[in-house]
Structure 1
Amino acid sequence: MPAISFVDLSTLALYLRDDQNAKRFTLVYAYNGTGKTRLSGEFKNLGKRADDTGITIERDTLYFNAFTEDLFSWENDLVEDRHRFLRLNVQSEFLGALASTEFDTRIRRLLGRYADFDFRIDTDVHADGRLEKAEVVFFREAEDISSGEMAAGGIKVSRGEENIFIWCFFLTVVQLMLDGSEAYGWVKYIYIDDPISSLDEHNAVMVANHLVEMLTRVDQGPRVFISTHHPLFFNVLCNELGRKARKYFLKNGANAGTFVIDDIDGREFLHHLSTLVELNELQKSGALYTHHFNMLRRVMEQTANFFGLNSWKDCVQPELDDPDKTLYERVINLMSHGDYSVFEAREMMEENKRLFRRIFRQFITIHPFNPERFPG
């Protein structure tokens, strides 16, 4: 399937919702800054309906993105520096089942996979069942968390630990929804955008495996969309879901504000391979811009790390007219460190295009990449 262009993110979100060839799972890889979070926002907005006063009365998407994390904010007690807790925005439908007595127990089961701290959720519930207040206090020691002394304290967990807690909070909501909770009966879609921005690679693999395990435990369920800029996380999802998932690579279009999705279903995908395939097409078409040298150097850096070389420069071989690799190294350095932005693209001069083609062809020739990916 050829790449498809979209005039804006709203049109792309509508396409993903109405895709006639849709599978239950859709995976989207994109570089940071491409518009993943905005896409998730456009997607959930298409499923919302408001009344005449602007209050949302219908929705269909349970989502996790930067806005979800913003539902949690710290109270750091700057006066006494003692009572630190995470405050939850109780106005969100996301917290619909928080008053359930099993909610914290469910979170704790999930959290134990990733972290060694504990917590307590303090809530105030109105007589009509409406949640009025929700606060999370964290503890490091395995003591009785209901004790008065500890209740007055609480620790400030790290940013990564905070993100893990919020992620486990979200997974608890997902599990309740999959179990048929009435509080989440409105969910038709789940949209997850980059849940692992502060996690190391070990936890990235664990999160991906656990997420797939949870979502595939039931044969039927809402359609699931997952977008990420993390290549390892994306590849684990691809491998775990296999043919159950449709896979896309999201890129900025040629014109400002436009977008392109490349269907990579049925193909292996790695960040550096996709970059090389893209550069191969560009060097053939002649649409080469100065920032493409930066992209090529980035792949060389990754290749050098993989093979245990001292520097990306070791990925460049000398030629008869450049026996010391001086020309190649100089042009790559100059183009990589200059003020060349992908957002203000400048086309290369013809001489630099010729150099780029020589360096590119040499690089993919001397390293054992599959030549079928780079037809001449």
Structure 2
Amino acid sequence: MANKPKIHDYKSLNNVVTRIRSDLKDFDYVLLFAYNGTGKTRLSMEFKESAKKKGSGKDTLYFNAFTEDLFYWNNDLQGDTDRHLVVNSESAFFSGFKELALEEKIFAYLERYADFDFRIDYEKWQVRFSRDREDNIKVSRGEQNLFIWCMFLAICELVVDAHVSYAWVKNIYIDDPISSLDDNNAIAVANDLARLLKSGKGKIKAIVSTHHGLFFNVIVNELKHHNTKVHFYHRATGTDTYTLRGTDETPFFHHVATLGELKKAVEGDEIYTYHFNMLRSIMEKTALFFGSKDFSSCIHGLDDEVLYARALNLLSHGKYSVYEPREMVADTKELFKKIYSEFIERYRFELPEITGQQEAAK
């Protein structure tokens, strides 16, 4: 469907970091889509450490799997009544945190995702949770991750506002903030993150990496008009070569990942109304690529063209339909499957060959 852009090969994570830092000289945001097992978390740590290696000191506030390790549970195995989350206050993540009392900022985010409350003991660095009238509850893994994420967003607000406690932060690096979250919260997380980053108007650079097609689709759509560079990041199994492919060089390339999410939804018969939004978004990009201004060109000439267009217009209405997630009734599911199947039949999307050597490894 298009001339394939060059695939840039790198012999080490450090070389990938060099490329990303170079991108940040020209772009405010760098977005990476990568499958699990390609070293996304190691890349985020290598990026963080690279500034120290050059002697310029720390410059990156990061959120990744190691961030979640800054918190661990005391389950009160003896009394089974005083369960609380313990915070590793030695991390730079919590610079000036005690003096700032961020509960209000944290809760402003948390109430969008969850129905529990929390209280931070800054003397003992402990967090206790409550729900309804029950105190010291142990929240689920997903709820815990949401709380940590909301704490991170509250800190990012301080970074964007140039608070003195976080004046050292020049970059924010976020790797897969959605572990253990369902699709609905994944969309909400992407929305909140994009809104926060845009509020900084490029004053703070940001890198976001993820394996989650839906999350990636939302964050790309939100930031695509805000000086953003988008890459497909990959490391073939059994090799030490890392590849970057600029997906903004190939229209809608990253939407192939979203098609994978839709395929999974169709095969699992777990289809929600917001999947119509995702499918329409892909059709719009496809139509633009072929010179048409309207997604309807993607279904033009099909036997049920009018019905398909009406369904895509009606059921993709609204921003992402995430705050009212509704599973489709059986008839609507079958309609979605037909539209999806005929679209895929017409446009035979394939992932590019990413193991070929198109440039000498750097």
- Which TM-score applies when normalising by structure 1? 0.67
Cα deviation digits, residues 52-89 of structure 1 (max 9, x gap): xxxxx930000000011100111111111111111010
Q: 1:303 to 1:370 in 2, by over 3 A?
A: farther
CA distance in 1 between partners of 2:206 and 2:258 (Å): 24
Counterparts in 2 of 1:139 and 1:50: CA distance versus 1, 3 Å: farther
Q: Which of 253, 275, 281 pairs up with 1:269? A: 253
1:294 corresponds to which residue? none
Aligned-partner SS, 2:80: coil
- 2:90 aligned partner, one-letter code: Q
Corresponding residue for residue 175 of structure 1: 157
Alignment of 1:67-86 (within 5 A): 67-86=66-85
Render the CA deviation track for 1:344-375: whole Å, top value 9, x for unaligned: xxxxxxxxxxxxxxxxxxx999812168999x
Aligned residues: 277
Q: Label 1:139 to 1:371 Cα distance change in 2 as closer, same or farther (>3 A).
A: closer
Does residue 235 (structure 1) correspond to residue 217 (structure 2)? The answer is yes
Per the alignment, residue 99 of structure 1 pairs with: 98
After superposition, the Cα gap between the structure-2 partners of 1:215 and 1:272, relative to the gap in structure 1 and judged at 3 Å, is closer
The Cα offsets for residues 78-110 of structure 1, whole Å up to 9 and x where unpaired, read as 111111111010110100122135311111111
Q: Which residue of 1 aligns with 2:31?
A: 27
Q: Which amino acid aligns with 2:67?
A: T
Q: What amino acid sits opposite 1:82 in the alignment?
A: T
Q: Which residue of 1 aligns with 2:19?
A: 15
SS at match of 2:61: strand
Q: Which structure has the bigger radius of gyration?
A: 1
Provide, for residues 27-49 of structure 1, a one-character-per-residue CA deviation record: whole Å limited to 9, x for no partner. Answer: 00000011100100100010225
Q: Distance in 1 between matches of 2:159 and 2:54?
A: 23
**Secondary structure, aligned partner of 2:267:** helix
User: Is the 2:63–2:174 contact (alpha carbons within 8 Å) kept by the matching residues of 1?
Assistant: yes
Cα separation, 1, equivalents of 2:140 and 2:125: 20
Aligned residue number for residue 135 of structure 1 = 126
CA, structure 1 residues 273+120, in 2 after alignment: closer, same or farther (shift >3 Å)? closer
State the distance in 1 between where 2:261 and 2:154 align. Answer: 38
Alpha carbons of 1:371 and 1:229: their partners in 2 closer, same or farther (altered >3 Å)?
closer
Percent sequence identity over matched residues? 42
Partners of 2:114 and 2:269 in 1: CA distance: 33
Q: Which runs of 5+ in 1 are unaligned?
A: 52-56, 125-132, 144-149, 276-297, 309-362
Going from structure 1 to structure 2, the CA distance change for 1:118 and 1:29 (only over 3 Å counts) comes to: same
Query: Which of 234, 245, 259 lines up with 1:251 in the alignment?
Result: 234
Deviation at 1:274, TM superposition (A): 9.1
Partner SS state of residue 162, structure 1: helix
> Which amino acid in 1 is paired with 2:118?
F
- The aligned counterpart of 2:267 is 305
Pairing of 1:1-376 with structure 2 (within 5 A): 1-19=5-23, 22-48=26-52, 58-124=57-123, 133-141=124-132, 154-244=136-226, 245-253=228-236, 256-266=239-249, 267-270=251-254, 272=256, 302=264, 305=267, 367-369=345-347
Q: CA deviation at 1:237?
A: 0.8
**CA 1:12–1:96 in 2, change beyond 3 Å: closer, same or farther?**
same
One-letter amino acid of the counterpart of residue 27, structure 2: K
Tell me the equivalent position of 1:342: none
Q: Shift of residue 254 of structure 1? A: 8.0
CA distance in 2, matches of 1:47, 1:223: 14
Residue 246 of structure 1 aligns to a residue in which SS? Answer: strand
2:79 aligned partner, one-letter code: E
Q: How has the CA–CA distance of structure 1 residues 104 and 238 changed in structure 2, closer, same or farther, with 3 Å as cutoff? A: same
Deviates more, 1:181-190 or 1:265-274: 265-274
1:186 alignment partner, SS class: coil
Code of the aligned partner of 2:230 = K
